Chains A and B, each alone.
Chain A
Amino acid sequence: MEKKKTKQFKIFRFNPKTDKRHYFDTFDVPYEAGMTVLQALNYIQRNLDGSLAYRSSCREGICGSCAMHINGKYCLACETQVIHVKGTVTIRPMAHLDIIKDLVVDMNPFFEKLKAIKPYLIPGDPDEGAERIQTQDERAYLNTLVDCILCGACYASCAVNGFDEDYLGPAALAKVNRFFMDSRDKADEQRLALVSDEHGVFRCHTLFNCQVVCPKNVNPTANIANLKRQIIARSLTVKFSKKGM
Chain B
Amino acid sequence: MILSDVIVVGAGLAGLRAALELNRYNVKVAVVTKVHPVRSQSVAAKGGINAALGNHLRGKYDSAELHAFDTIKGSDYLADQKAVLTMTSQGIDRIYELEHWGTPFSRTEDGRIAQRPFGGADFPRTCYAEDKTGHVLLHTLYEQALKFEAASERAEMKIYDEWFVTRLIVDKGAAKGVVALNINTGDLEIFSGKAVIWATGGSGRVFGRTSNAYISTGWGMCVPFYEGVPLKDMEFIQFHPTELYTNNVLITEGARSEGGFLLNCKNERFLANYEDSVKAMEMAPRDIVARNMQREILAGRGIKGKYLHLDLRHLGKKKILECLPNMRMNAIHFAGVDPIDEPIPVIPGQHYTMGGLDVNIYAESKIKGFFAAGECACVSVHGANRLGGNSLLETVVFGKIAGESAAAYVKEGAIDDTSAAFLNAVLREEDEKISRLLASKHDERHAAINCELGEVMDASAGIFREAQFMNAALKKVKTLKERYTYIGSISPGRIANFDLLWAIQLKGSLDLAEIILQGALNRQESRGAQFRTDFPMRDDKNWLKHTIATLKHGSIHLSYSPVDLSLYKPKKRHY
- Asked if A46 contacts B135 (CB within 8 A), the reply is no
- Asked if A58 contacts B129 (CB within 8 A), the reply is no
Tell me the chain B residues, 75-131 only, with Cβ under 8 Å from chain A: 95-97, 99-102, 104-113, 129-130
Which one, A56, A64, A101, A129, contacts B38 given CB within 8 A? A64
Q: In the complex where A63-B38, A102-B496 touch, is A182 in contact with B491 (Cβ < 8 A)? A: no
Which one, B112, B150, B250, B447, contacts A115 given CB within 8 A? B150
B147 at the binding interface (Cβ < 8 Å) = yes
A18-41 interface bits toward B, Cβ cutoff 8 Å, 1 = contact, 0 = none: 100000000000000110100000
B312-334 interface bits toward A, Cβ cutoff 8 Å, 1 = contact, 0 = none: 00000000000000100110011
A126-159 interface bits toward B, Cβ cutoff 8 Å, 1 = contact, 0 = none: 0111111111101100110011111000000000
With most chain A CB atoms within 10 A of its CB, the pick from B53, B102, B132, B326 is: B102
CA distance A45 to B491 in the complex (A): 10
Which one, A47, A53, A106, A184, contacts B447 given CB within 8 A? A47
CB B255 to nearest CB in A, in angstroms, measures: 15
Q: In the complex where A58-B213, A101-B496 touch, is A121 in contact with B491 (Cβ < 8 A)? A: no
Closest to A101 in B: B496
B294-314 interface bits toward A, Cβ cutoff 8 Å, 1 = contact, 0 = none: 000000000000000000000
- Asked if A131 contacts B247 (CB within 8 A), the reply is no
B44 at the binding interface (Cβ < 8 Å) = yes
- Asked if A135 contacts B107 (CB within 8 A), the reply is yes
Q: In the complex where A51-B491, A64-B39, A107-B36 touch, is A120 in contact with B102 (Cβ < 8 A)? A: yes
A99-133 interface bits toward B, Cβ cutoff 8 Å, 1 = contact, 0 = none: 01110101100010011001111010001111111
B407 at the binding interface (Cβ < 8 Å) = no
Interface size for A (C-beta < 8 A) is: 65
Q: In the complex where A101-B495, A119-B146, A130-B96 touch, is A50 in contact with B490 (Cβ < 8 A)? A: yes
CA distance A65 to B105 in the complex (A): 24
- Asked if B489 contacts A100 (CB within 8 A), the reply is no
Contacts of B446 in A (CB 8 A): 46
- Asked if A147 contacts B106 (CB within 8 A), the reply is no
Contacts of B329 in A (CB 8 A): 61
Contacts of B102 in A (CB 8 A): 120-121, 123, 179, 182, 184-185
Closest to B92 in A: A130
Contacts of B330 in A (CB 8 A): 60-61
A231 at the binding interface (Cβ < 8 Å) = no
A198-209 interface bits toward B, Cβ cutoff 8 Å, 1 = contact, 0 = none: 000000000000
CB B488 to nearest CB in A, in angstroms, measures: 11
Contacts of A135 in B (CB 8 A): 107, 111
A3 at the binding interface (Cβ < 8 Å) = no
B174 at the binding interface (Cβ < 8 Å) = no
- Asked if A146 contacts B246 (CB within 8 A), the reply is no
B413 at the binding interface (Cβ < 8 Å) = no
Q: In the complex where A17-B495, A119-B146 touch, is A136 in contact with B109 (Cβ < 8 A)? A: yes
Contacts of A143 in B (CB 8 A): 130
CA distance A5 to B498 in the complex (A): 27
- List 7 contacting pairs A-B, 8 Å CB cutoff, sorted by A: A34-B246, A58-B41, A58-B213, A65-B36, A104-B496, A129-B96, A135-B111
List A residues at the B interface (Cβ < 8 Å): 15, 17-18, 33-34, 36, 45-47, 49-65, 79, 81, 100-102, 104, 106-107, 111, 114-115, 118-121, 123, 127-136, 138-139, 142-143, 146-150, 179, 182, 184-185
